[in-house]
């Protein structure tokens, strides 16, 4: 997942209300969606999508709110709506891109969808918030919302459903948590909003303010989160700094399970073909040659990710030294380099012990010779203790 630069622009608000369908099945007949503009004028849009709102069985929305806060939400709302007095939506064609769409989550809570934060293989991630319609003083809960890109292919929809089914089983301090799922009029995955965006960007912008202990703590958090995924028999398949989100200087969380798979008793997943859109730079040799993915291939990716941390978010080059090739040639060049023993050198500023004990062992040719995530966690913690 790649994240856009955040910006705060609110031009309009659209409330989406859905009439109940005549039955539980999808209907081919068009339904009318009523959208209330900020000025209170009803706008009618036609859609062929039917269905009734289905409340998620995941985290109860009520649990996300405190009973009372000191915020006067009603005054804030009036100030917000006052900014629209001179706005003519029909005469502003560019406005549509920055409208805040409101989705009812249940009879009490609404999801308000805002600006895009980033995009991945098949989906966009937007910033949003959940509001309590029955308590104007309740805090709004900021969230990240992932949704499919328009006209997504069937296989991407299947991937999205798999991502949802995987994420709703996960509860760990170093893994992004899912809050809810909305399925009408489109599938929306509502997740916690991690405030500082991707680790890749965070490292680049804060490299002068991060100490060695901060970098080691990031590496430790990732290893802990990956050990938890291993226990859940989940292979991430896209572990990289761009898919780690930053809570603060000392805490990060693993995100983006769009390529993740639950593995069977063999503890590996086989992919028939690799395409150029896949992050092959982070892939283990057995993944490049045979399309085989396991926790051990995630360990290889972990080594690349920690290497990125010590490059402060800079993406490492392709092993083999050649970038301008087609996908097959890139894989062949990388495999030739890896087979010959080529590996990334110790990054500038990285302690030799971190490279020798943590990073380099992840790149063993034999998957079984690579350390486990539990061992990696212990090794990173040892490095943290020794750096005090």
CA proximity to 317, closest of 345, 286, 354: 345
Global pTM reads 0.75
Burial of 37 (0-12, 13-18, 19+ CB in 10 A): middle
- The residue from 139, 159, 238, 256 that is catalytic is 238
What token pair was written down for 339?
């087979």
What token pair was written down for 302?
């972990």
- Say if residue 245's pLDDT is above 50: yes
Beta bridge partners of 252: 246
Q: Are 238 and 279 in contact (CB under 8 A)?
A: yes
Superfamily grouping for domain 197-386 = Transferase(Phosphotransferase) domain 1 (1.10.510.10)
What is residue 384's three-state secondary structure?
helix
Q: Are 301 and 236 in contact (CB under 8 A)?
A: yes
Is 24 tagged catalytic? Answer: no
Q: What is the mean pLDDT of residues 67-76?
A: 44
Number of alpha carbons in the 13 Å side-chain half-sphere of residue 143: 26
| CATH of region 101-192, choose from 3.40.50.300, 1.10.20.140, 1.10.10.10, 3.30.200.20 | 3.30.200.20
Q: Looking at the chain, list the stretches that DSSP marks H as alpha helix, in order from N- to C-terminal side.
A: 73-82, 154-167, 199-206, 212-231, 285-290, 295-310, 327-339, 352-354, 373-386
- Say if residue 5's pLDDT is above 80: no
Phi, psi of 14 (to 5 degrees): -120, 125
pLDDT of residue 3: 56
- Say if residue 12's pLDDT is above 90: no
pLDDT of residue 219: 98
Q: What is the mean pLDDT of residues 255-281?
A: 81
Better-predicted residue by pLDDT, 68 or 271: 271
Identical fold between 101-192 and 197-386: no
- pLDDT tens-place string over residues 214-237: 999 999 999 999 999 999 999 999
- pLDDT tens-place string over residues 288-347: 999 999 999 999 999 999 999 999 999 998 887 766 666 677 888 899 999 999 999 999
Q: For residue 86, say whether it is annotated as part of any ligand binding site.
A: no
Better-predicted residue by pLDDT, 156 or 233: 233
Task: Return the C-alpha torsion angle 370, 315, 228, 234, nearest 10.
Answer: -80
User: Any idea where the domains of the chain sit in the sequence?
Assistant: 101-192, 197-386
- Say if residue 206's pLDDT is above 90: yes
CA proximity to 138, closest of 70, 63, 195: 70
The single residue listed with the structure tokens 């009036």 is 78
- Say if residue 33's pLDDT is above 90: no
Burial of 55 (0-12, 13-18, 19+ CB in 10 A): middle
CA distance 164 to 24: 22
pLDDT of residue 88: 38
């Amino acid at each position: 997942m790649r994240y856009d630069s955040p910006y705060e622009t609110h031009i309009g608000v659209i409330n989406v209300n859905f009439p109940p369908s005549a039955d539980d099945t999808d209907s081919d007949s068009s339904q009318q969606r009523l959208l209330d503009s900020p000025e209170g004028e009803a706008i009618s849009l036609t859609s062929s999508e039917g269905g009734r709102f289905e409340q998620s069985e995941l985290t109860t929305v009520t649990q996300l709110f405190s009973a009372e806060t000191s915020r006067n939400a009603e005054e804030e709302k009036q100030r917000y709506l006052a900014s629209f007095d001179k706005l003519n939506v029909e005469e502003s064609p560019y406005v549509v891109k920055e409208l805040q769409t409101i989705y009812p989550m249940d009879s009490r809570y609404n999801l308000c969808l805002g600006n895009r934060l980033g995009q991945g293989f098949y989906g966009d991630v937007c910033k949003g918030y959940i509001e309590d319609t029955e308590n104007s003083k309740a805090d709004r809960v900021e969230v990240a919302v992932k949704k499919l890109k328009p006209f997504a292919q069937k296989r991407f929809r299947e991937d999205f459903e798999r991502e949802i089914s995987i994420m709703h089983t996960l509860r760990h301090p170093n893994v992004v948590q899912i809050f809810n799922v909305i399925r009408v009029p489109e599938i929306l995955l509502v997740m916690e909003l991690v405030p500082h965006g991707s680790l890749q960007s965070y490292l680049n912008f804060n490299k002068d303010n991060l100490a060695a202990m901060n970098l080691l703590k990031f590496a430790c958090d990732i290893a802990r989160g990956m050990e938890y995924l291993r226990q859940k028999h989940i292979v991430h398949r896209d572990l990289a700094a761009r898919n780690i989100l930053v809570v603060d200087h000392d805490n990060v969380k693993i995100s983006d399970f769009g390529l993740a798979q639950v593995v069977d008793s063999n503890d590996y997943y086989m992919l028939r073909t690799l395409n150029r859109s896949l992050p092959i730079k982070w892939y283990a040799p057995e993944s490049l040659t045979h399309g085989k993915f396991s926790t051990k291939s995630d360990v290889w990716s972990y080594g690349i990710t920690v290497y990125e941390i010590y490059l402060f978010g800079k993406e490492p080059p392709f092993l083999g030294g050649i970038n301008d090739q087609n996908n097959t040639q890139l894989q062949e060049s990388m495999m030739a380099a890896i087979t010959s023993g080529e590996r990334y050198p110790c990054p500038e500023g990285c302690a030799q012990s971190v490279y020798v004990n943590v990073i380099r062992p992840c790149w063993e040719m034999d998957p079984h010779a690579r350390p486990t995530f539990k061992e990696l966690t212990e090794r990173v913690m040892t490095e943290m203790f020794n750096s005090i």
